[in-house]
Amino acid sequence: MRFERADKRRIAVGVAAAILAATSLAGTTGCASNKSARTYQTQEEGGANRGLGGLFRRNRATASADPASLGVNSYLWRASLDTLSFMPLASADPYGGLIITDWYANPEKLDERFKATVYILDTRLRADGLNVAIAKQTRGADGQWRDAAASPQTETDIENAILTRARQLRVNGRG
């Protein structure tokens, strides 16, 4: 009898833990669909998930004193968004340092389109803390898009434009 009660208690505790975990995951899933950086900031400050003992907070050793700080260099992040602002944005992760644009076709040359992916690799403003990958497609005679080789110089030019803009932002004190 005594073992049955202990087993029932263990099961009840396990069910309660599973419900708590599912509720926590459901709460973060809802936040993930909101593209606002403010949602994460609210969680950082201990808002919606305060009772979970800081489970969703960043490691304090890597977090700066500013709770709204990014996980990557803010000058590179802002400069990347500024430089690629002419392209439609598909995805942006300021904590992982990843920006993905959607396909962009120059209105003057509609038979080719480009897609950019920017990786910010460091929290410091350094040339090697940035990587840009460009994908290119051309439209064939049948109207289908086909992958084509993008010039490596294009990637280098965009990296240089981002770095130049990041330096300007740093000099002006904006990031």
Give me the tens of pLDDT residue by residue for the chain, a chain 175 residues long.
454 554 555 555 454 444 444 444 444 444 444 443 433 333 333 333 333 333 333 333 333 334 356 688 999 999 999 999 999 999 999 999 999 999 999 999 999 999 999 999 999 999 999 999 999 999 999 999 999 999 999 999 999 999 999 999 999 986 5
Domain at 158, CATH number: 3.30.530
Number of domains present in the structure of the chain: 2
**148 shares a domain with 93:** yes
Q: Assess if residue 64 is contained within a domain.
A: no
Q: Assess if residue 60 is contained within a domain.
A: no
**94 shares a domain with 43:** no
Three-class secondary structure assignment of the chain? CHHHHHHHHHHHHHHHHHHHHHHHHHHHHHHHCCCCHHHHHHHHCCCCCHHHCCCCCCCCCCCCCCCCCCCCCHHHHHHHHHHCCCCCEEEEECCCCEEEECCECCCCCCCEEEEEEEEECCCCCCHHHEEEEEEEEEECCCCCEEEECCCHHHHHHHHHHHHHHHHHHHHHCCC
**81 shares a domain with 144:** yes
**102 shares a domain with 151:** yes
**82 shares a domain with 168:** yes
The domain of 19 spans 2-52
Q: Assess if residue 16 is contained within a domain.
A: yes
Q: Assess if residue 99 is contained within a domain.
A: yes
**139 shares a domain with 94:** yes
pLDDT reported for residue 114? 97
**161 shares a domain with 101:** yes
**95 shares a domain with 29:** no
**100 shares a domain with 35:** no
Q: Assess if residue 90 is contained within a domain.
A: yes
Q: Assess if residue 57 is contained within a domain.
A: no
